[in-house]
Each structure stands twice: as structure tokens, then as C-alpha cells.
Amino acid sequence: MNNFERNLHALKNKFPHVWNTLKEVSGTTPNNPNAYVEPIEPDLPWLEAVRQSVEDTECIFVYGFGQGLGIVDLIEQYNGRLLMVYEPDIDQFYRAIAAYDLSALFNHPNFYYLAVGKEQLNSLFYIASLHMHRELAFVALRHYLEAEMDVLREVREKFQRYNHTYESNQNTHELFQEDWVRNSMYQMAGMLNTPSIESLKDIYTGMTAVVIASGPSLQKDMDWIERLKPHAFVVSAGSSIQALVKNGIQPHLAVTLDGGVINNKVFEAPETLKAPLLYASTSYYGITDRKLEGKIHAVMSNDHITQYYMGLDSESVAMTPTPTVVGTAIQAAIWMGANRIVLMGQDLSFPGDKFYTEGVSHAEATENEQRVESAEIEIPNVNGGINKTNVNFMFMKDALEKLFNSFPDIEFINTTRNGASLTGTEWEPIENVYHKLSDQQLDIELFSGALEQSLNEKNPDRIAFAKTKLRTTLSDFVEVENEVKALLKLINPLREISRTKPAKCQNAIVEIEKRWTKIVDREWFTQTYENVTPRQLAAFDQKQPLIALEQNIIKKADLLYDALGTLLKDIKSKFPFLREIFGEAIARIERSESEEVTV
């Protein structure tokens, strides 16, 4: 086995994403004029400069791999730190693994993550955001410090933006986590008795779908929607349903995604619930409770709790979450067979200093005005001008553009007259699109017929499976709660005995790890608690590698006391909530078994 093969073997075991990128390489070293070679002797001035950056941080982001020599020096000098390494040049990395045996370095426990090539940078950002505690040391090999300082600044700024978004998402998840889990639990009865979006696969192969958002530009083109209905499948996304029904328009399908109670106001008027409704597994259950027929459900790919209790294979789940309901509507239309998506009202900015189109009234007007007034970001609009926008809209814009890119065979047309310019779409006025579609006819009976057929294919075995699994988990809560209490009793004196009775402390740590493993090895535990306590689990995940690396018994005990002790207290506090929602979920399923659900 040569160096290249040996390194590939180590990469496959430790960093399979890197191995997957390199496995097809032929074995000949590419000619790279930009290749650089690190000095064999330690670069002492560079290490001194690094020392000032690293200080007390626990995670080090290293820009550049070279031949791995600088990485080795960092590991030796900063034992106990986690290194996350990014080499932007795949050829440079290839030359290194072809020339040297680096398997021991790859397998070192402090070498925590590796990304090679620009496509893997975001995955490193995610891992860094997951494991960093307060701060992240940003270090670059001397070659990149001297040759690509502008690029380094750009990467650092990208990470800061990514981390800001990550933290914002974590805060949002923490704020709404109980609402989302309650929604998943309470929606389950309906999902077991209604058609799924997967059951509507390709019912309209080759169709055009018009996806309508609630931006202010929609008002100018509202009259075109009714004219389009005989020729295209019209989907209202989120709050746009309010504007449509105010103008006497019913879409072929309405879509709801948001899990907050405020979303109930969007569908407050009875007219907003007349059209068939596609709802996400985490959307607010109060809306679907009020709609008795014409419902279609979509289990989101990140909703592992619903997948687990309904016995769904994650690979068969069609819908990927996006930060905007428009993304859900687009995916649904494509799943149903659309090869052209027409966007309306997708402003993602504030043209004319407006937030929504007329008729959207679920949010307070003063709040919308404040958002518009505080918008400081400027982006190009479809007319070549500039619109004001904010961070949230930029986040949605980025997610939608990535979604467009993931469907290269789909034609995306943006007809939003004054909205933000969207990469991956062609802008065209709606009247031109109408003329393109005027000779096409949409058979809406295909849609209603497919819903009827799916409803008649209800699976009693799946309902029984879900009930059994929920009941088993509910009964197991008592045992796990007792195990958590016992574990806390072991952890409480840990700091004290680490200083007075180190041998006893070591035995206690072994027992704690054994009991903790017994808790987390339960099938339901991770599925449930990743949704109920995501921030607390993430905080423990940050510390877990450092706990494993720590050799000092006092420091190890302190880390375990703080990280696992805090998590266990939070886990214990969630049991009353979990008992409540699991009990109600079972009761809802039992009630639904005696009710006839219609399309």
C-alpha cells in the first residue's frame, strides 16, 4: 500500500466526505504551478503570531493544510484544542497525500474536521459553529498569509455571517422548540389519515405552476391570477392566501409552513380554508384542526420525531425545509410534476417602502413599518434599480437561489415586477407568461381524483404502529426520569471528589459515562430530545470532544459537571411537557380512528 492509498484509507474512516472527493483520482500528481512547500523546521515566528490568536479558545480554524507540518506543530503546542482545517486547493492537498504518509495525523483525536475545496467550506463552517464555545481562533498557514490575505478576510467574514445565521437559527429553534414539537405530535393523527405529498408524485407531468408570495408587487398583477387558473396550477404560499381571498380568488392549493400561533391569523377567515391545504408536519396544528377536509401533509426531512413515530424512511421524504414557505410550495409543485415554476409577489425586499401586498393583515402594521424603516441592506431589483431589504429576506433569498440551483432541469420565471433580482430565474412580465400558457389546459380533476384515491389507501397498520410506539415511549419516560435523577446524584459531588479522591472520581466518571450511554441509546431519546432541547444538546456536543481529550482529572470533572450536569437538569425539566403532548397525541389518534376523513 503506497502513501496515497494509505492516506485514502485513513480519510475514508475519519473524513469520508474528503475521501469521496478524492477516490476517483488516478494516482498521478497534477502539475500545479501554485503549489507550496512548508519548511521542515518549525516556523517559530508564525507559531508566536498564532499564540496571540489562539489564547484560551478551544477550537482553531486553520486555513491551509500544506504538507501537514504546521498542523502537527499546532497539535503539539495546543494539546486539548480541536483543529478544523480547510485546504481550498484540491491539487495542493492531493500532492501532499500522494507524497507523504499522513495517516497518523488524520487519525489524531485533536484533528477534528477537514474540508478540502470550496464546496466543503460550508460543512466546516457548520462543524465550527456547532463546537466553538464563544470564540473561534482563526489561523492561516504562512503561505496564505503572504499570498491571499484578501481571500482570508473574505473567508473569515463568510464564517462570521454563517455563524450569525447559525446562532439566529438556534435562538429561533430554542424560542419555538416546544411549539414545533407540539405541532408534530398533534399533527400526527391527521397525517395518519390524510394523503401525503409523496402520494401525488407526477400527477401533472410537464405542468406549469404559479407560486404566489405576499410581497407588495403582487397587487399590480392580481388580476392575472384568475386568468391563469385554467392553464397553470396556482399555489398560494403562506400569507398570500389572505390577499387572494380578499380579491375573490381561490388557488388550486394553499400551503402553510410556519409553526407559530400567529400563523393562525393568516387562516382566520373561513374563505382562506376553502382551497385544498398542504401543511407541513411542524405547522401550527390549530389551522388543520379547523379544516376538516381537503388536507395534504408533508413531513419535512428534518422532522425526525414524526419520521420515527410514523415509521417513515427518511430517504422517501420529499420535502426539504427552507426558511420561507415559498420553498415548500416550489418543491411540492415540482414533486407533482411541474417543469416550470412562475413566481409572483416574491419581492424579498421593500419596494415602495411596503412589506406586504394589500389584504395581508395578520401582522401588526407598526411592526412592518419598523422593519422597513430599519432596513439598511441594498440589493438590485429586476428593473435594474435598488431596493432596501433586511437580513431575514437576504437569508430567504440565498436559500431560494440554492433551491433553484438544485433543480437544473426546472425553468424558473420571476414575474415579480419590482422585487429583488433572483439568481437562477429569468425575469418576465406576467402578461408574457400568460400568452405562453394560454393554449395549455389544466385538468383540475386529476388533482381531486388523486387526493380521493390516496385517501382511500389509508393504512390501519401504520396507525397501529404509531400508537404502539407513542405508548411505549410514554411508559418509558418514568424509567428514564429515574435514571436521570440517579445520574445527577453521581454528578453533583464530582468536582469535590476530583480534588480529594481522584481514584474515586475516575470510577464515578466511568459509571456516569455508562449510565449516560444507556439513556441515549434508547431509540426514541435522540429523536425526541434533539427537538425538545436542541440548544442544550448542542452545548454538550461542543464540550464532548474536549471532555474525551482531557487527561487532567480535575479539569475533566469540571467539564463533565458543567456540560452534562446542565443538560441532565434540562432533560429532567422537560418530562412534564413530554407526558402532556404524548398523551394528547395518542388521544388524537384514537379520536381520529372513529371519524371519517374526507377530501
Q: pLDDT-derived band of residue 367, with 50, 70 and 90 as boundaries?
A: low
Determine contact, residues 332/255, Cβ cutoff 8 Å.
yes
pLDDT given for residue 34 in this prediction: 62
pLDDT given for residue 77 in this prediction: 86
- Calculate the average pLDDT of the chain: 88
Output the DSSP codes for 109-132. TTEEEEEESGGGHHHHHHHHHHH-
pLDDT given for residue 119 in this prediction: 81
- β-bridge partners, 116: 87
Mean pLDDT in residue range 52-63: 82
pLDDT given for residue 137 in this prediction: 84
> Hunting for cell 388533482 — which residue is that?
447
Residue 41, classed as helix, strand or coil, is: coil
Determine contact, residues 349/366, Cβ cutoff 8 Å.
no
pLDDT given for residue 314 in this prediction: 80
pLDDT given for residue 597 in this prediction: 45
Greater confidence (530 vs 511) lies with 511
Distance CA 275, CA 297 (A): 14
Pairing of strands 386-389, 377-380: antiparallel
Q: Which of 71-80, 218-227, 327-336 has the lowest mean pLDDT?
A: 71-80
Rounded to 5°, the CA angle 231-236-239 comes to 160
pLDDT in tens, 399-433: 899 899 899 999 999 999 999 999 999 999 999 99
> Hunting for cell 463546537 — which residue is that?
131
> Residue 273: what residue type?
L
pLDDT in tens, 145-185: 887 788 888 888 888 877 777 776 666 656 567 888 899 99
Q: Which of 65-79, 130-144, 213-227, 230-244 has the lowest mean pLDDT?
A: 130-144
> Residue 135: what residue type?
E
Rg of the chain taking only CA atoms, in angstroms: 27
pLDDT in tens, 19-50: 888 876 555 555 665 678 888 888 888 888 88
Residue 214, classed as helix, strand or coil, is: coil
Helix then strand count (H, E) for the chain reads 26, 14
Determine contact, residues 531/180, Cβ cutoff 8 Å.
yes
Residue 265 has pLDDT above 80, yes or no: yes
Residue 558, classed as helix, strand or coil, is: helix
> CA torsion angle for 371, 374, 376, 379 (degrees, to 10)?
20
Name the grid cell of 249. 380568488
Name the grid cell of 389. 431589504
* Spans of all domains in the chain: 3-147, 202-275+320-440, 460-593
pLDDT in tens, 111-133: 989 999 888 888 888 788 776 75
For the chain, the residue count is 599
DSSP 8-state assignment for residue 297:
E
Q: Of all helices (H) and strands (E), which one includes residue 73?
A: helix 69-77
List, in order, residues 6 or more apart from 251 with CB less than 8 Å away. Answer: 212, 225, 234, 235, 236, 241, 244, 275
pLDDT in tens, 429-449: 999 999 999 999 999 999 989
Rounded to 5°, the CA angle 445-240-377 comes to 140
Q: According to the 3-state scheme, what is the secondary structure of 460-511?
A: HHHHHHHHHHHHHHHHHHHHHHHHHHHHHHHHCCHHHHHHHCHHHHHHHHHH
List, in order, residues 6 or more apart from 60 with CB less than 8 Å away. Answer: 54, 74, 78, 81, 82, 83, 84, 136, 137, 139
Distance CA 512, CA 560 (A): 9
List, in order, residues 6 or more apart from 406 with CB less than 8 Å away. Answer: none
Residue 275 has pLDDT above 60, yes or no: yes
Distance CA 278, CA 255 (A): 5
Rounded to 5°, the CA angle 17-20-22 comes to 115
Residue 323, classed as helix, strand or coil, is: coil
pLDDT given for residue 270 in this prediction: 94
Measured distance between the N- and C-terminal CA atoms of the chain, rounded to whole angstroms: 63
Nearest to 564 by CA among 495, 470, 497: 495
Nearest to 458 by CA among 281, 311, 593, 300: 593
Nearest to 565 by CA among 460, 470, 492: 492
Is the pTM above the cut of 0.85?
no
Name the grid cell of 204. 401533472
Rounded to 5°, the CA angle 417-423-425 comes to 60
